[in-house]
Homo-oligomer: A and B are copies of this chain.
Amino acid sequence: MMKQNIQALFNPQSIAIIGASNTPGKIGYFIVKNMLESGFTGRIFPVNPGSDEILGLKVIKKISQLPVKPDLAVICVPRQFVLSVLKELGQIGTRAVIVISAGFKETGKDGFLLEQELADVAREHNIALLGPNCLGLINPHAKVNASFAQGQPRPGNIAFFSQSGALCVAILDWALGGNIGFSKFISLGNKAILDEADMIAYLGKDEKTKVILGYIENVCCGERFIAEALKVTHQKPIIMIKSGTTSAGIKAASSHTGAMAGSDQAYTAAFKKAGIIRVGDVETLFNLARAFSTQPLPQGPNLAILTNSGGPGIMAADVCERSALNMASMSSAIVHKLQKVLPPYASLYNPIDIIGDATAGRYLKSLEIILEDSNVHAILILLTPTSAIAHEIDELSAGIARISKKALLAQKPVFVCYMGKKQVEKGRKVLLDAGIPCYDFPEPAIKSIEAMYLYYQWQKTPEAEPVYSRVDREKAKKVIFRAKKENQNQIVEFQAHEIVRAYNLPVPETRLARSSEEAVFMAMQIGFPVVLKIASPHISHKTDVGGVMTGLKTPEEVKTAFSQITHSAQRLRREAYIAGCLVQKMAPEGCKEVIVGFKRDEQFGPLVMFGLGGIYVEVLKDISFRLAPLTAEDARTMIREIKSYLVLKGFRGEPGVNFAALEKIILAISQLACDFPEIYEAEFNPVLVNHEKALVADVRLSLSY
């Protein structure tokens, strides 16, 4: 039903513009003008009680006098009239509405409440509502320009939606200057009803759209956003900017549209989970849009660079080496072929340097040969406009365009970088018109190919299921229930151990000693050396109060440690109830400490984290994140993507840790997070791991009610 109404939003047969105006410069004038100039073939009804004619169109005085029910209505009346207009439209049965008018959520509490009323009316009448506080939308293929933006973009295969109207304006102007075409162009505004997830769902099925671009400052519903994106990203790329990543950005974001920016790690994890390509700036957004909308995906990482100049070739090789791509090793048959057509001083290995006196003919011959090499997955052509080639650049460009059609069949993207401006201007246009990305510098070209290769990998990786194991959920439930009953907001030690054991994870043998004598007795039963830890429901950072002593080897040491720990803790935390000390078997030597945990993100739910203990997490912030529920691959890559991974893998002859055991723990905490929404935060810290096994040595769970 709603889906049908979104159809009407983008492909209306008739449009009413409520608040149409006769005064040039007014928004209500612009929209009528844009609709007329777009070449719309359906009916346009300007509505305004005070006018007779606008730009040659007869004006309807009020909504009730409309001759037919319009498929789409655009509202640009002052804010105080918006609600009643929407109600009227709802009553006559219009199911697609764009609210251009501002003065809602972005202005404070009153506006926020008004927007809620607006949304309620829209929901009541099942209206697909875009806005309020937006620029409108453009569908060039249907000749619809229901926006007050300047200029008509040409039809193309790129869709763009944006939470920022200003960015719409900028990008439209940029696209007009660069002759970029769009399939759909949407200003989301305050997202009272329709949001980014709806757009992704619609554009994912839209046949005119090959690449989806988006700019957001927040998402409305994290779960739906990921779910809708996941349905799309295996078919077409979604490339997005999420701004407001740093604290200054967030400050600006909150004062802007009242959007609360979620935590940046959670957004990164969400984009990763959904297969969305996240970029940091508009320039990259456009570079990738051009690349993805015109070229095939490379089927592997190997890049060949064809150049007429050494310096730029070196710089490009530098960039390639720092990327996920490789410099292709040319096969010997191809090198041999190149040798036959190139002068003796050319460099036949990658970068293939055909030297400053290269002509268009030499370029094209080399290009055709390189394309034959099955080791080569993508080609970048670099050119400096030397005197030998300056007058042949148009010819060369036409030749590249011709050969790139063959490359398209072989699924090999061809990118070009003309290093210059004046002499290469015309040739660049020839290439762009033929759908071949042409850049000023090698860097953006290589970055674009890299993004396409990474996306290719995402596309070919089958969607994996989250891992759930058989666990004793009932037992865990009981512990949590008990803690709730006792109004604890933390579960620690014994109780927490019980939950960990219920999820089939090993914990070290641990006993609670209430006196130093008991501690000595228990240590002897467990076997030396042991660890003593303060036992108190009120102390969660034990080391901060001198509450942990390790490597205790004798009864005397245990006895001393007990009184030291309890005294120190009591002195530093006067209010804490101290039950005694936990006596724990000392971890075997050579164990590494890692931390596994999760925190519930407001928008995206449990964000699982992994990192090495101590300095690595706290100082170096060397942490990997994923959103639960996790797949086996998630757990695998979480461990491997931290910078300190080598510490776990072992270096200088040290054996590596038991990765399978670690992965099991990561998957278990993901499952725990999904099973019990009342656990707000969980941390296994430290998890001790060596080449044999992994032990959850300490646990802290925080509850929220």
Contacts and interface: CB of A to CB of B under 8 A. Distances in A.
A610 B107 CA distance: 53
Interface stretch (A63-71, A84-92, A305-313, A522-530): A305-313
Contacts of A257: 310
A308 B169 CA distance: 11
Given A25-B387, A320-B248, A309 B423 contact: no
Contacts of A177: 420-422, 425
A620 B620 CA distance: 10
B315 A241 contact: yes
Given A345-B107, A349-B255, A647 B615 contact: yes
B150 A317 contact: no
A215 B173 CA distance: 35
Interface string A306-340: 00111111110111111000010000000000000
Interface string A618-633: 1110000000000000
A249 B323 CA distance: 13
A283 B421 CA distance: 12
Interface stretch (A159-167, A475-483, A502-510): A159-167
Contacts of A175: 421
A94 B356 CA distance: 30
Given A252-B313, A313-B252, A283 B351 contact: no
Given A164-B314, A619-B646, A620-B620, 8 more contacts: A164-B309, A246-B322, A251-B317, A252-B314, A256-B347, A281-B315, A281-B319, A619-B651
Nearest to A148: B387
A415 interface: no
A509 B620 CA distance: 34
A440 B387 contact: no
Contact of A166 (B251, B308, B425): B308
Interface string A437-481: 000111100000000000000000000000000000000000000
Contacts of A311: 162-167, 215, 217, 243, 256
A384 interface: yes
B170 A247 contact: no
A217 B314 contact: yes
Given A150-B390, A443-B283, A167 B423 contact: no
Interface in A20-39: 25, 30
A429 interface: no
A16 to B, nearest CB: 22
Contacts of A597: none
Q: Taking each of A169, A244, A247, which has the highest tally of chain B beta carbons within 10 Å of its own beta carbon? A: A169
